[in-house]
Amino acid sequence: MIAAEFVGTSIASGGDGADRAGSVTPSAMSENPHLKWQNSRRGYVVCRVDDKSWTTEYRTVSYITKPGAPVETPTKWRVEHGRPGILPA
């Protein structure tokens, strides 16, 4: 492994989003083993970094079309110093 990348959506673009993008099928996920998790909800990431690890929490909301959506943390991932790969946190 050369590098790890955490990618997130914008908090307010594309409408409410969905649990899974229509183009991301189980077959597509199995053909791309480097993809660890996919979600099309609106949200942001929170990163905690220290000298031993980088942990990313994905924060999402189920809707943006009206105020008051609760913020959820559907998944967390980490990279540890000296250990290749992305791990569940």
pTM above 0.75, yes or no: yes
- Amino acid letter for position 53: S
Q: What pLDDT sits at residue 21?
A: 77
Please tell me the distance from the alpha carbon of residue 11 to that of residue 41, in angstroms, as a whole number. Answer: 9
Residues 3-23 have pLDDT tens digits of: 888 988 777 777 888 887 777
